[in-house]
Homo-oligomer: A and B are copies of this chain.
Amino acid sequence: MTLNERIAELRERVRQQRPLIHHITNFVVMNDTANVTLHIGGLPVMAHDRAEVAEMVTAAGALVLNVGTLSPDWIEAMLIAGRRANELGIPIVLDPVGAGATSLRTASNRRLLEELQIAVVRGNSGEIGALAGMGGVVKGVETVVEVDDPTAAAKALAQQYRTVVAVTGRQDVVTDGKRVFLVDNGHEWLKTLTGTGCSATTVIAAFAAVEREYPFAAAAALACFGLAAELAAPAARGPASFKVAFYDAIYHLSADQIRAGARVTAVAG
């Protein structure tokens, strides 16, 4: 199978297995990421209370931890759910929203990376740079100064925590610290909407739930996500009509479209 055929097959696997994606995530994107989970083929659940997260995660195919509107209580719940997920071998996907913007965010993300075995971290260049200690500037939740070398930052962070790091931007970089996938799908409209990074994280989680080769799962997810944006763009008259067309495109994204449109390059490690 070619790489694109493998990506197409993986996208279908999500549809067939319908993995439950347990999110402990921020208030801004809960509705969006629940819908994206459904559209890509999974089942979403949002549950954050310490009294139930360990039980809820047992049914999940993957766990999303997203600190976009964090508070200490929620971080505790993330640790409880995360420990149980680790015990059960359920992959955890971390979205370190705003790492670098405040010390609480940087410290909380470091703690999650240190105390849990994270399968994939997905952030923008500034967030990954902040966690890797390799530059970039985050203002609020947005990178305003890019990291000089996103691949180097991603590799460093991946090696430090033995995880897979996905840096999204004009070109997405996915690495386990050695191998690198570059993903050239995507569209400028994505930057005009809140939470598109969080939604990309959700798609990575859905793919990681059914494919344990996490670097490939993450790269495939980002290719599908970006390709859906490309397919939707002609219908956009602005950000909101783009969003409608984009979600419709995620739902319909087919094996044929992926074979023709995914642009993933595997770089020798």
Contacts and interface: CB of A to CB of B under 8 A. Distances in A.
Interface of A: 20, 22, 26-32, 34-35, 37-39, 43-49, 51-52, 55-56, 59-60, 68-72, 98, 101-105, 139-142, 192-195, 237-241, 243-249, 251-252
Contact of A194 (B38, B69, B98, B246): B38
Given A34-B195, A38-B239, A195-B34, A69 B55 contact: no
A205 to B, nearest CB: 13
Nearest to A236: B248
A51 B139 CA distance: 17
25 contacts: A20-B139, A27-B30, A27-B46, A28-B30, A28-B46, A31-B194, A34-B195, A35-B194, A39-B238, A43-B139, A44-B140, A44-B141, A44-B194, A45-B98, A45-B141, A47-B102, A51-B71, A52-B102, A59-B101, A238-B247, A238-B251, A239-B248, A239-B251, A240-B243, A240-B244
Contacts of A241: 244-245, 248
Contacts of A49: 70-72, 104
Contacts of A244: 240-241, 244
A156 to B, nearest CB: 25
Contact of A56 (B20, B34, B140): B140
A34 B243 CA distance: 14
Nearest to A53: B102
Nearest to A77: B71
A101 B60 CA distance: 11
Contact of A69 (B47, B59, B237, B248): B47
Q: Within the oligomer, what is the number of copies of this chain?
A: 3
B140 A43 contact: yes
Contacts of A38: 192-194, 239
B31 A195 contact: yes
A245 B60 CA distance: 32
A105 B49 CA distance: 11
Contacts of A29: 31
A22 B104 contact: no
Contacts of A141: 43-45
Given A59-B139, A193-B38, A51 B239 contact: no
A28 B30 CA distance: 5
Given A45-B98, A237-B248, 4 more contacts: A27-B46, A39-B239, A59-B140, A240-B248
